[in-house]
Structure 1
Amino acid sequence: MTSTETSPRWAVATPHGAASDVAGQVLRGGGNAVDAALAAAAALTVVYPNQCSIGGDQIALVGLADGSVHCVDGSGAAALATDLPDVRARYDQMPVGGSLAVTVPGVLHAWDTMARQWGTRRLADALDTARSIAEAGVPVAAGLARDLVAERDRLLADPGLGQLFLQDGLPLVEGHPLRQPALARTLQLLRDEGVSAFYGGQVGAAVLNTLGQQGSALCAEDLLRHRTRVVAPLSATFRGHEYLTAPPSSQGIFFLGGLQALAALERRLGRLLDPLAHDAGLVARVLSTMAWHRDRLLGDPTQGAGLVDEVLSPSTADDLAERLLSTPTGVGTDVLDAPHAQGPRSGDTVAVVVADGRGQWVSLIQSTFHAFGAGILDPETGIILHNRGASFSLDPLSPNRLGPGRVPMHTLMPVLVRHDGEVIGSHGTMGGRAQPQVHTHVAMHLEAGRSAQDAVSMPRWILGAMEAGVDGPAPSLTVKVEQDVPAPALAGLQAAGFGASELPAHDDGTGHFQVVRVVDGDLACASDPRADGSAIVG
């Protein structure tokens, strides 16, 4: 669905029309951007359960009227009782599904933190709206229907998922009513008792019981000790605007590093680069380099000393630009020194972007990681558990190694944009490990003067390395190309040494981008046609 609007007052975009409607109602009623974002986020856990859940994680940026920006990191940790040698004895790499892949879900705690610090309404209001949707039911969206077909075997393997999403062994089809009574009861309990019902209460106990029956080491202490981290964002300047995102363990730092390298290339070339022209090959080499180093450097935030300075150093960008211009193909695998580490495979995520017209901005990203997360739905609570722990490496030397209480590298990366100290944009996308690429495409289009809707609707190409893992000895040189990518871009990719694999136009595997941006003093917003969303203003 394509949707774009302009307005001087408020704007919101999400990947599902029902969530955008809920956020719009909050803004019309006088709520601020945080109130609206939380209402949309809660609704999305009901209407897009393949991509997000109250059993998942969240990372968000909140921008205030004074220009300050705060990062809300709701990512959870591995169990304190995690035994890396035991896991290594049983697995060559982290399993994608199952109880071992479940880390502490942090989304509810993050929502509560945001509501208390910057909201004007109770989190209970957002939870009650989501409860109503879960109870009454909502038509299965096109994106959910596609995932139900693609993930049928996983749904069959889990009694909770199978009972909810299958009829006579077949996936629910687009438009079929989806009612979630168990989840509705849980949301009502959380509304009445607060998020402590999960972190130390009966909701969390039920989830732990289901996970424990499947061998998880998570326990009540893990939930009780979880805290949302409110930290300073990172930033980099690109074409005159300051882009801000979350610090490690988020991969956002490598998005910023890529922007700086592109800026260094543009200074040397004396012109702007275009990812849909012959420049695509050069842009892809930058993105592939950043992906290569992300998978070797990123991990638990406590292990990141020096990483920010190294990745965001101007000399790193200059060195990479020099190296790429001096050789016609390949990537800068030796620009940063790092050990080898395994990387995650893919991602299912939602983005909510909001501006309230009074100076508050939100970019909120939440996720189950893979579609339907770990493939576990707790039948008592109706909660689908994410599989963020699949991001961990079993290499004991990796900065992203599995360990007690450690946080894995995170694909979630909200983005806000500032100009002259004032927030002027909120960006967000689904896309797993491809999120830095999708953000880069859209940033380059917006900074070249394209409209918000054009920027999110333009054809895309995505490096295969972003979803294929990094188990091989070199970065992937395969690019997934939407069929309407212009011929000069395809030629540029091939000239740079990349092979191409064609995707349909507007394939949802290339991200679901949402954007709100100040344009000529008004708010413009757009929702990616690759999703089921809408952009609403008022």
Structure 2
Amino acid sequence: MVGSERRAVLAARRMVVAAHPAVSAAGHRVLAEGGNAVDATLAMAAMCWLALPGQCGIGGDAFAVVREPDGRVWTVGGSGFGPDGAEPGFHGDGPVPTRGALSVAVPGAVGALSALHRQGASRSLDELWRPAVEAAETGVACSAKTHRDVADNVDLVRGDAGLAAMFLPHGSVPAPGARLTFPEFAATLKTLAAAPESFYDGELAHRAVDHLRALGAPFSGAEWQACAVPLTGPPVTGTYGELTVHQTPLPTPGWMMLQQAAVCDGVLSGLPALGGDAVHWLAAAARRAFADRFAFCGSDNDAWQDLLTTAATAAAREDIRSGRLAPPAGTRPDGDTTSTVAVDDSGRAVSFIHSLAFTFGSGVTVPGTGIVLNNRFGRGAYTLAGHPNEARPRRRPLHTLNAWIATDARGRLRFVGNTPGGDGQVQWNMQVLSHLADHGLDPQQAVSAPRFTIYPGSDADTLGDAPELRCEDRLGDDVLAAVAAHGHRVRRLGPWEAGGSALVIAADHETGSLAGGADPRQDGVALGD
């Protein structure tokens, strides 16, 4: 059952995987022409903005983990602050809105990509983004995913002049295959390729801030300037068996994957893959991570470090063995995000992820630019007085995006992966890691395997919902019954309906080749040579 639907594995010495064929093609072209994995990632990011515009964009956030050929690993984090004027109490007794101008945080994607370029690229942004500029000018085929995104959010799209111009060009939802052109976006992309800093302290910044202020969001402009320099530095790391797992640091939940790995280390390898006990352990570890995140964590404290100690891990294991499930916090594992992975022939690897938060983000565009703004502030920040994730000026809201790379005991690359899917990400990343490391699945089997998701997690918009474990029914009746017997309230989903779009590249050092897998839940493809 595990991955039986798609088992072909592509072996290569350099490879990219993305959730859309045009995006993979853009990255593979760069590698084939002598560019490195960072170059390929930058090219794929720009093509994603056109091929998957509901999921990501210039007005969103982005994070990356990079492994250099010498074994050094570094990260880039691009996310921003909410408005300087949104002091506690600004939103009254209710939550931060999840759509509209009040939901917007300063976008971090441009700053992250600029830093990624400065620290690791071999080619100019103008060269790497030129194919995306040309595609925006001449037209991009509307994918089935974009068609669904527009159809499912047509009122939101119709409510903003910029969104309507791009995605309802003839007043109706474009059919799959229809040509969509983005002339304003093309001009913006040219500007940013030449001067990415203008997004934070230039004409683009001023236009964005002025528009948001006119819509009632209390941005000062200074918070935009403060986000020009992204978060860079080493990853947070943990171990799983003989692997070292490198994850993105705060404000991402990368530590949560490491916590789950610590709790499950040495347990899952002795259990049947995707049997009732294995699913229970993975689900219970994820539920513990979200409960701990909600109880202790914000983007500007180090509480997560105490949750990864030997004592904390032992306590979590004992609770699971004793049948004690952590209390729910609250979120839905939804949201639109997309990601890429790339490995070049020198062994450099990049795991990259970017998002607008919800589909089409806030539903607000910056007039005349083609920029769709995120709704990360509304999705991520709480209005709970005194909480470490309470909405405050110059505090980044907690994030859902995370990316990971795993190396072996000698520091060699073993796996590079990620997935979109809101708070499903850290759960599904852990599931994929276990499939690869504990049970020897190949990358395609690992990303195709039946998936399950604890609900709720810890986002802001559905705090307090009743807990459940959402399982693809391919797990089978016996497994679902066994999981329910462990105390989980199981909700059955269709065979491929859990969500996400997991991507993995695995390095085989015996053969000197790479193998890749792209999630069949979206339209992804692995390309290499």
TM range (shorter): over 0.9
Equivalent residue number for residue 206 of structure 2: 205
Cα deviation, residue 275, structure 1: 3.2
Equivalent residue number for residue 383 of structure 2: 394
Equivalent residue number for residue 191 of structure 2: 189
TM-score by length of 1: 0.91
Question: Of 338, 348, 351, which residue of structure 1 is paired with 2:339?
Answer: 351
Q: Distance in 2 between matches of 1:170 and 1:67?
A: 51
Question: Of 374, 384, 393, which residue of structure 1 is paired with 2:362?
Answer: 374
Question: Of 102, 127, 130, which residue of structure 1 is paired with 2:129?
Answer: 127
Equivalent residue number for residue 148 of structure 2: 146
Relative to structure 1, the CA distance from residue 366 to residue 3 in structure 2 (aligned partners, 3 Å threshold; closer, same or farther) is farther
TM-score by length of 2: 0.93
Q: Distance in 2 between matches of 1:279 and 1:259?
A: 13
1:452 and 2:443 equivalent?
Answer: yes
1:82 and 2:86 equivalent?
Answer: yes
Relative to structure 1, the CA distance from residue 343 to residue 485 in structure 2 (aligned partners, 3 Å threshold; closer, same or farther) is closer
Question: Of 102, 117, 138, which residue of structure 1 is paired with 2:104?
Answer: 102
Q: Distance in 2 between matches of 1:492 and 1:33?
A: 43
Equivalent residue number for residue 113 of structure 2: 111
Equivalent residue number for residue 399 of structure 2: 410
1:286 and 2:285 equivalent?
Answer: yes
Q: Distance in 2 between matches of 1:444 and 1:404?
A: 39
1:465 and 2:456 equivalent?
Answer: yes
1:35 and 2:23 equivalent?
Answer: no
Cα deviation, residue 196, structure 1: 2.2
SS in 2 for 1:235: strand
Cα deviation, residue 466, structure 1: 3.6
> Could you tell me whether the CA contact under 8 Å between 2:330 and 2:463 is conserved in 1?
no
Q: Which moved more, 1:381-390 or 1:225-234?
A: 225-234
SS in 1 for 2:440: coil
Q: Distance in 1 between matches of 2:313 and 2:73?
A: 25
Equivalent residue number for residue 433 of structure 2: 443
Identity across matched positions, percent: 28
SS in 2 for 1:523: strand
Cα deviation, residue 504, structure 1: 2.5
1:215 and 2:216 equivalent?
Answer: yes
Q: Distance in 2 between matches of 1:214 and 1:311?
A: 41
Question: Of 322, 325, 336, which residue of structure 2 is paired with 1:331?
Answer: 325
Cα deviation, residue 31, structure 1: 0.4
> Could you tell me whether the CA contact under 8 Å between 1:62 and 1:71 is conserved in 2?
yes
Aligned residue identity for 1:244: H
Question: Of 461, 478, 491, which residue of structure 2 is paired with 1:488?
Answer: 478
Q: Distance in 2 between matches of 1:215 and 1:350?
A: 30
Q: Distance in 2 between matches of 1:206 and 1:526?
A: 41
Cα deviation, residue 344, structure 1: 7.1
SS in 2 for 1:480: strand
> Could you tell me whether the CA contact under 8 Å between 1:101 and 1:374 is conserved in 2?
yes
Equivalent residue number for residue 49 of structure 1: 53
Aligned residue identity for 1:196: E
Question: Of 38, 61, 64, which residue of structure 1 is paired with 2:65?
Answer: 61
SS in 1 for 2:337: strand
Q: Distance in 1 between matches of 2:459 and 2:68?
A: 38
Question: Of 489, 492, 514, which residue of structure 1 is paired with 2:503?
Answer: 514
Cα deviation, residue 531, structure 1: 1.1
Equivalent residue number for residue 429 of structure 1: 419
Count of aligned positions: 519
Aligned residue identity for 2:386: L
Say what the alpha-carbon RMSD is for the aligned residues: 2.2
- String of CA shifts for 1:222-245, please: whole Å, max 9, x gaps: 222221111211111113211110
Q: Distance in 1 between matches of 2:188 and 2:155?
A: 27
Cα deviation, residue 4, structure 1: 5.6
Aligned residue identity for 2:481: A
Question: Of 150, 155, 158, which residue of structure 2 is paired with 1:156?
Answer: 158
Cα deviation, residue 534, structure 1: 0.9
> Could you tell me whether the CA contact under 8 Å between 2:329 and 2:457 is conserved in 1?
no
Relative to structure 1, the CA distance from residue 214 to residue 220 in structure 2 (aligned partners, 3 Å threshold; closer, same or farther) is same
Aligned residue identity for 2:526: A
Equivalent residue number for residue 174 of structure 1: 176
Name structure 2 gaps, 5 residues minimum: none
> Could you tell me whether the CA contact under 8 Å between 2:339 and 2:352 is conserved in 1?
yes
SS in 2 for 1:216: coil
> Could you tell me whether the CA contact under 8 Å between 1:343 and 1:392 is conserved in 2?
no
Equivalent residue number for residue 313 of structure 1: 309
Cα deviation, residue 316, structure 1: 1.3
> Could you tell me whether the CA contact under 8 Å between 1:341 and 1:400 is conserved in 2?
no
Q: Distance in 1 between matches of 2:285 and 2:111?
A: 36
Aligned residue identity for 2:179: P
Q: Distance in 2 between matches of 1:285 and 1:461?
A: 12
Q: Distance in 1 between matches of 2:197 and 2:51?
A: 24
SS in 1 for 2:504: strand
Cα deviation, residue 285, structure 1: 1.4
SS in 1 for 2:342: strand
- String of CA shifts for 1:139-186, please: whole Å, max 9, x gaps: 111222222222122112222212321256532222221211111111
Relative to structure 1, the CA distance from residue 437 to residue 157 in structure 2 (aligned partners, 3 Å threshold; closer, same or farther) is same
Aligned residue identity for 1:515: V
1:537 and 2:525 equivalent?
Answer: no
Q: Which moved more, 1:396-405 or 1:151-160?
A: 151-160
1:525 and 2:516 equivalent?
Answer: yes
Q: Distance in 2 between matches of 1:472 and 1:250?
A: 19
Q: Distance in 2 between matches of 1:299 and 1:153?
A: 34
Aligned residue identity for 2:416: S
Relative to structure 1, the CA distance from residue 415 to residue 402 in structure 2 (aligned partners, 3 Å threshold; closer, same or farther) is same
Q: Distance in 1 between matches of 2:235 and 2:20?
A: 27
Relative to structure 1, the CA distance from residue 49 to residue 380 in structure 2 (aligned partners, 3 Å threshold; closer, same or farther) is same
> Could you tell me whether the CA contact under 8 Å between 2:333 and 2:421 is conserved in 1?
no
Q: Which moved more, 1:369-378 or 1:126-135?
A: 126-135
Q: Distance in 1 between matches of 2:448 and 2:442?
A: 10
> Could you tell me whether the CA contact under 8 Å between 1:111 and 1:123 is conserved in 2?
no
> Could you tell me whether the CA contact under 8 Å between 1:459 and 1:505 is conserved in 2?
yes
> Could you tell me whether the CA contact under 8 Å between 2:36 and 2:122 is conserved in 1?
yes
Cα deviation, residue 341, structure 1: 7.7
